[in-house]
Amino acid sequence: MSTPDKTPAKSETLSEHGMKRRNFIIAGAAAGGGLLIGFALPKMFEDKGGHSTPANSEKAAREAFSPNAFIRIDKEGLVTLVMSKVEMGQGTFTSITMLIAEELGVDPAQVKLAQAPADEKKYADPLLGGQVTGGSTSIRGAWEPMRKAGAVARTMLVSAACQDWNVDAKECRVENGYVLHSGSEKKIGYGELVEKAATLPVPQEVTLKEAKEFTLIGKPIKRLDSPQKVNGQAVYGIDVRQPNMKIATVAMSPVLGGKVVSVDDSKARNIKGVRKIVKLDDAVAVIADHMWAAKQGLAALDIKWDGGRNETLMMKDIIGQLDQASSDKGRAAPGAVATSEGDFKAAFAKADVKFEAVYQLPFLSHAAIEPMNATVHVQKDRCDVWVGTQVPAMAQAGAVGITKLPPEKVFIHNHHIGGGFGRRLDVDFINQAVAIAKTVDYPVKLMWTREEDMQHGIYRPYYYDRLSAGLDKDGNITAWKHQVTGSSIMSRWIPQFVKNGLDSDAVEVAREPLYAPANIFVEYIRQEPPGMLTGWWRGVGATHNTFMVESFIDELAHKVGKDPLQYRLANMKNSPRAKHVLEVAAKEAGWGQPLSKGSGRGLSVQYAFGTYVAQVAELEVKEDEVHIKRVVCVVDCGMVVNPDHVKAQMEGGINFGISGALWGEITVNNGKVEQSNYDNYRVMRMRESPVIEVHLVQSSEAPGGIGEPGTAAIAPALTNAIFAATGKRIRNLPIKNSLTAA
Amino acid sequence: MITLNVNGKEHALDVTDDTPILWALRDVIGLTGTKFGCGKALCGACTIHLDGQATRSCITPVSLASGKKITTIESIGETEVGKRVQDAWLALDVVQCGYCQSGQIMSASALLAQTPNPSDEDIDNAMSGNICRCGTYPRIKAAIKNAAKA
């Protein structure tokens, strides 16, 4: 079922900023004996004038090599992998270990995992350019370098054994941490070889295994983190305990962006277990012996707030501003052009059929079950931060700013994450914990309550998109326009990658729809919502624009009376892999087979994160409630490292996306977020979880990302199915509002 | 002072009667396998057994545990049913981020102890108080069924 595709992977999230670099593998002796393998990034070795010196990079790399490498093999043969990625459920602890173990010839279950310290350069993601776990990049970035590193280590260990035995490397093989000689059946453990191996030259070229030789890659290897996650032993950020540690919780301004005017803490100070009240600009914290005392203390505070300019902020203000900014007439400045090919205006003017629609997506909370938290100990000469974060180096930079300590004195101890989904790409809560801990001499664990977590989130932006298409008399798309209006996350988070006002995340998927007519115009209009901080949410730009594009194409199909599957296939250009996933999904889902009244099927297809996904949702609408029966998902993510991980990520990603599509919305009323907990921010529960069937396409293409595609593609499959079931077109999410409103 | 029996061990705690069991376990005794998620019995991450009954520890005060036996995720594997559930979880690699799974396993163990062969409806009823934001529900359900058969 291999379907080679020459479409370049241009639309990988954030990968288009020219951050790809060549890595140099370096090796050396570990302190206390043993072999270290690491990378040196050429960027580390820029000269004083800022010019990199690639010719000398490897030499420089060797000289500058420090023992924060990522593979260590000690004299007992224990292999330690220093993980630059954090584990938040996506499975990278296991899959990256598999990549190294495949080439190194060790059992992944015997590899010891350690979390990388904060270091923006040493542990940078090759696609993102910083120490970030996000954007479904882990395997795409690790695929080649990690296997190569394993192969370098293996080659050096084999060379060491060959020197001992005075035999040729060709006669040797590796197995389970041993080098074996075929002729004599001699066998020696890696631990006995590391000292000699560390003195050998690093091989310039290593041969990586061919796919047919893989013994781990492509196999459903069990997750390495499962055992400790079923018996309560896994340590998340929130589980950290330090000697003399106290617990803090906070109240932040109910009105977004508001400030503390005054605090009367006389009652709170009398509560048993309360140690200290800390007044910050925008929050008040209570430090206590345990969370219950801290919460009681918080409830006893009398805080006067100044809501500031957001005190009268309503949703209609935010939506009104987006509406105005999105219209050609009302806009203050021209949009940033993402795509402009052919002549949209002329083609649209002479189209036989014209169609326009506006779609809206709400603010969303991540609502990870582990609330935001961090444990911090600030001392005179050092600061320790225990936390689960997607961005350790950013956390370090934040703590440096607050404590004024040098970066090498700020230690980020990363932990398992109890749900990231993009929320832990921000460090607001870590900074707050540092600011609180700075006022005392003991370690403080700051925990947000669910209510503070939901009401002071960093929300997925509200998007307000206009789409227009012109069709010829046969229904073929001749003109396509997509105007994206919303907040620019990149402008806050990585402003250096916003070029000419274009936020490439905001137009991800939209800028290169799978349906590419000759005349296409895509632009981005930045409109920041007052009061709301916006950030990454699982599926990022693809979650936003796959909904827009896949809703619109479905509408066009119905407009001209064509079958949505056939219409997509007919209008798709140059994408055999996309066509293939769509056709397989339709077949597996029984597309076209009759369903009972009130039931329907809906399609979506997507290319994002280097991965093709097609989904067919089958559902029934009864009394304004949507009952999802079944989702068929076909994935072509190129080479599959761990098929069970891909399936798990699709299952979970789809369910995450369903919660958002059916019920998810954060709204403000007089500047206050109205949702506060899982009772009024509804998320999926067991009884709402549909049957999900995941099919993987065999492929020899480079691996694509898997953490986010499932989430990004589900919403339009649902709304398209609702249209098929009821004739009701849903252009605004969440579905619950649109179903009851219409 | 209040005395709690946790996983077969007595703990004398200097906390007020209204302190939720969750914080007594996590912040005072130091058993962190039981998780905090919502504080209002909406998510199930804090589920423990109180004399074998699945109980949301975030809203249950320590005073109600007096004279009763608390079982947490740290010791559920010592029961026959709990071990079966954990093994079923491992066999299907149910977990993703894993944060909710302590609570899921505690709810599932209580269900199977009372209803050895649960129907889909039984599972939905017993498990719908436990949220999993990673969306591992299909595997949780399959694992419960496998554990029932084992």
What digits encode the pLDDT tens for the residues A612-667?
999 999 999 999 899 999 999 999 999 999 999 999 999 999 999 999 999 999 99
A203 or B123: which leads in pLDDT: B123
Q: Which residues of A touch B35 (CB under 8 A)?
A: 236, 238, 369-370, 418
- Is B108 found in the same domain as B70? no
> B97 and A419 in contact by Cβ < 8 A?
yes
A726 or A133: which leads in pLDDT: A726
Q: Which residues of B touch A694 (CB under 8 A)?
A: none
Q: Which residue of B14, B96, B139 to mutate against A (max A Cβ within 10 Å)?
A: B96
Answer yes or no: are the C-beta atoms of A181 and A171 closer than 8 Å.
yes
Tell me the DSSP string of A234-293. Answer: --BGGG---TT-EEEEEEE-SBTT-EEEEEE-TTGGGSTTEEEEEE-SSEEEEEESSHHH
Q: How far is A290 from chain B (nearest CA, A)?
A: 5
- Residue A69 has a pLDDT of 58
Tokens describing residue A647: 């399936």
The helix (H) or strand (E) run that includes residue A619 is strand A611-622
What is the dihedral angle through the alpha carbons of A641, A642, A646, A648, rounded to the nearest 10 degrees?
Answer: -160
Q: Which residues of B touch A653 (CB under 8 A)?
A: 135
Q: How far is Cα B59 from Cα B37, in angstroms, rounded to an integer?
A: 12
B133 closest CB neighbour out of A229, A238, A656: A656
Question: Does the pLDDT value for residue A431 go beyond 90?
Answer: yes
Q: How far is Cα A352 from Cα A355, in angstroms, rounded to an integer?
A: 10
Establish if B47 touches chain A: CB-CB under 8 angstroms.
Answer: no
Confidence of residue A84 (pLDDT cuts 50, 70, 90): confident
What digits encode the pLDDT tens for the residues A482-500?
999 999 999 999 999 999 9
State the residue for tokens 């490292």: A641
- Beta carbons within 10 angstroms of residue A159's beta carbon: 19
Domains held by chain B: number:
2
Confidence of residue A189 (pLDDT cuts 50, 70, 90): very high
- Is B119 found in the same domain as B67? no
Answer yes or no: are the C-beta atoms of A693 and A630 closer than 8 Å.
yes
What digits encode the pLDDT tens for the residues A341-355?
999 999 999 999 999
Establish if B37 touches chain A: CB-CB under 8 angstroms.
Answer: yes
Answer yes or no: are the C-beta atoms of A251 and A268 closer than 8 Å.
no
Q: How far is Cα A398 from Cα A430, in angstroms, rounded to an integer?
A: 8
> B99 and A419 in contact by Cβ < 8 A?
yes
Helix (H, G, I), strand (E, B) or coil at B96: coil
- Residue A502 has a pLDDT of 97
Question: Does the pLDDT value for residue A715 go beyond 60?
Answer: yes
Q: How far is Cα A218 from Cα A200, in angstroms, rounded to an integer?
A: 32
Mean pLDDT of A688-694: 98
Mean pLDDT of A276-281: 98
Give the CATH number of the domain where residue B130 resides.
Answer: 1.10.150.120
Q: Which residues of A touch B16 (CB under 8 A)?
A: 272, 292
Answer yes or no: are the C-beta atoms of A672 and A248 closer than 8 Å.
no
What residues of chain B, 53 to 72, have a C-beta less than 8 Å from chain A?
72
Answer yes or no: are the C-beta atoms of B66 and A207 closer than 8 Å.
no
Question: Does the pLDDT value for residue A56 go beyond 50?
Answer: no
Question: Does the pLDDT value for residue A130 go beyond 90?
Answer: no
What digits encode the pLDDT tens for the residues A532-574?
999 999 999 999 999 999 999 999 999 999 999 999 999 998 8
Helix (H, G, I), strand (E, B) or coil at A53: coil
- Which of A144, A154, A146, A165 lies closest to A200, judged by CA? A154
- Is B62 found in the same domain as B94? no
Q: Which residues of B touch A227 (CB under 8 A)?
A: 90
- Is B108 found in the same domain as B45? no
The tens-digit pLDDT sequence of chain B (150 residues) is 899 999 999 999 999 999 999 999 999 999 999 999 999 999 999 999 999 999 999 999 999 999 999 999 999 999 999 999 999 999 999 999 999 999 999 999 999 999 999 999 999 999 999 999 999 999 999 999 999 998
Q: Kindly list the distances between the CA atom of residue A263 and the CA atoms of A295, A305, A637, B54, in Å, as whole numbers in the listed order.
A: 16, 9, 55, 40
- Residue A136 has a pLDDT of 86
Which residues, in sequence order, are CB contacts of A733 under 8 Å at separation 6+?
A360, A361, A362, A547, A660, A661, A664, A665, A715, A719
Tokens describing residue B136: 């591992």
- Residue A57 has a pLDDT of 44
Q: Kindly list the distances between the CA atom of residue A308 and the CA atoms of A455, A526, A528, in Å, as whole numbers in the listed order.
A: 17, 24, 18
Tokens describing residue A343: 């002549």
Question: Does the pLDDT value for residue A16 go beyond 50?
Answer: no
B93 closest CB neighbour out of A367, A648, A686: A648
Q: How far is Cα A353 from Cα B135, in angstroms, rounded to an integer?
A: 42
> A238 and B32 in contact by Cβ < 8 A?
yes
Q: How far is Cα A132 from Cα A146, in angstroms, rounded to an integer?
A: 17
Give the CATH number of the domain where residue B28 resides.
Answer: 3.10.20.30
Q: Which residues of A touch B130 (CB under 8 A)?
A: 685-686
Among A134-143, A192-201, B43-52, which stretch is predicted with the lowest mean pLDDT?
A134-143
Establish if B88 touches chain A: CB-CB under 8 angstroms.
Answer: no
Question: Does the pLDDT value for residue A463 go beyond 80?
Answer: yes
Which residues, in sequence order, are CB contacts of A316 under 8 Å at separation 6+?
none
Q: How far is A447 from chain B (nearest CA, A)?
A: 10
Tell me the DSSP string of B36-94. Answer: PS-SSSSS-TTEEEETTEEEETTTSBGGGGTTSEEE-HHHHTTSHHHHHHHHHHHHTT-
> B95 and A417 in contact by Cβ < 8 A?
no
Q: Which residue of B27, B74, B101 to mutate against A (max A Cβ within 10 Å)?
A: B27
Q: How far is Cα A92 from Cα A86, in angstroms, rounded to an integer?
A: 8
> A230 and B89 in contact by Cβ < 8 A?
yes
Domain boundaries, chain A: 15-215, 237-309+372-447, 316-363+459-741
Among A54-68, A483-497, A678-692, B58-72, which stretch is predicted with the lowest mean pLDDT?
A54-68
- Which of B95, B29, B112, B17 lies closest to B60, judged by CA? B17
Q: How many CB pairs under 8 A join A and B?
A: 189
Q: Which residue of A226, A686, A689 to mutate against B (max B Cβ within 10 Å)?
A: A686
> B95 and A687 in contact by Cβ < 8 A?
no
Which residues, in sequence order, are CB contacts of A345 under 8 Å at separation 6+?
none
By CA distance, what is B36's nearest residue in A?
A370
Which residues, in sequence order, are CB contacts of A360 under 8 Å at separation 6+?
A319, A462, A463, A464, A465, A731, A732, A733
Q: Which residues of B touch A272 (CB under 8 A)?
A: 16
Q: Which residues of B touch A368 (CB under 8 A)?
A: 97, 99, 133
> A223 and B93 in contact by Cβ < 8 A?
yes
Helix (H, G, I), strand (E, B) or coil at A92: helix
Answer yes or no: are the C-beta atoms of A462 and A318 closer than 8 Å.
yes
> B99 and A683 in contact by Cβ < 8 A?
no
Question: Does the pLDDT value for residue A725 go beyond 90?
Answer: yes
Beta-ladder partners of B2: B13
- Which of A718, A707, A621, A600 lies closest to A660, judged by CA? A718
Q: How far is Cα A377 from Cα A438, in angstroms, rounded to an integer?
A: 8
Among A38-52, A149-163, A319-333, A572-586, which stretch is predicted with the lowest mean pLDDT?
A38-52
- Beta carbons within 10 angstroms of residue B66's beta carbon: 12
- Which of A73, A681, A585, A719 lies closest to A364, judged by CA? A681
- Residue A309 has a pLDDT of 95
Confidence of residue A21 (pLDDT cuts 50, 70, 90): very low
A440 or A517: which leads in pLDDT: A440
* CATH fold of A316-363+459-741: Aldehyde Oxidoreductase; domain 4 (3.30.365)
Confidence of residue A145 (pLDDT cuts 50, 70, 90): confident
- Residue A471 has a pLDDT of 97
Q: Kindly list the distances between the CA atom of residue A210 and the CA atoms of A381, A703, B75, in Å, as whole numbers in the listed order.
A: 51, 15, 45
E strand residue ranges, A166-245: 172-175, 178-181, 187-189
By CA distance, what is A450's nearest residue in B?
B38
Angle, in degrees to the nearest 10, between helices B137-149 and B120-127:
120
> A232 and B27 in contact by Cβ < 8 A?
no
| Domain end among B75, B101, B116 | B75
Tokens describing residue A271: 């509560």
What sign does the dihedral A184-A189-A192-A195 (CA atoms) show? Answer: positive
- Is B67 found in the same domain as B92? no
Q: Could you give the percent of chain A with pLDDT greater than 70? A: 93
A600 or A66: which leads in pLDDT: A600
- Whether A237-309+372-447 and A316-363+459-741 share one fold: the answer is yes
CATH code assigned to A237-309+372-447: 3.30.365.10
- Residue A67 has a pLDDT of 35
What sign does the dihedral A541-A664-A722-A684 (CA atoms) show? Answer: positive
Tell me the DSSP string of A391-452. Answer: -HHHHHHHHHHHH---GGGEEEEE-B-S--TTGGG--HHHHHHHHHHTTSSS-EEEE--HHH
Confidence of residue A133 (pLDDT cuts 50, 70, 90): confident
- Residue A40 has a pLDDT of 62
> A686 and B19 in contact by Cβ < 8 A?
no
> A290 and B23 in contact by Cβ < 8 A?
yes
A238 closest CB neighbour out of B36, B101, B132: B36
Q: How far is B26 from chain A (nearest CA, A)?
A: 8
Q: How far is B78 from chain A (nearest CA, A)?
A: 10
A41 or A4: which leads in pLDDT: A41
> A450 and B39 in contact by Cβ < 8 A?
yes
Q: What is the ipTM of this complex?
A: 0.98
- Residue A650 has a pLDDT of 98
| Domain end among B75, B100, B119 | B75
- Residue A62 has a pLDDT of 42
By CA distance, what is B19's nearest residue in A?
A292
- Residue A29 has a pLDDT of 83
Beta-ladder partners of A468: A356, A481
| Domain end among B75, B100, B131 | B75
By CA distance, what is B21's nearest residue in A?
A292
User: Across chain A, what does the average pLDDT equal?
Assistant: 91
Q: Please compute Rg for chain B using Cα positions.
A: 15
DSSP state of A614: E
State the residue for tokens 């409103």: A741
DSSP state of A666: B
> B20 and A292 in contact by Cβ < 8 A?
yes
Q: Could you give the percent of chain A with pLDDT greater than 90? A: 80
Answer yes or no: are the C-beta atoms of A567 and A475 closer than 8 Å.
yes
What digits encode the pLDDT tens for the residues A239-264?
999 999 999 999 999 999 999 999 99
- Residue A49 has a pLDDT of 37
Q: How far is A713 from chain B (nearest CA, A)?
A: 15
What digits encode the pLDDT tens for the residues A380-393?
999 999 999 999 99
- Residue A169 has a pLDDT of 93
Burial class (CB in 10 A: 0-12, 13-18, 19+), B113: middle
Q: How far is Cα A255 from Cα A229, in angstroms, rounded to an integer?
A: 38
Q: How far is B57 from chain A (nearest CA, A)?
A: 12
Range of the domain at B13: 2-75
> B89 and A226 in contact by Cβ < 8 A?
yes
* CATH fold of A15-215: Aldehyde Oxidoreductase; domain 4 (3.30.365)
Q: Which residue of A94, A228, A231, A389 to mutate against B (max B Cβ within 10 Å)?
A: A231
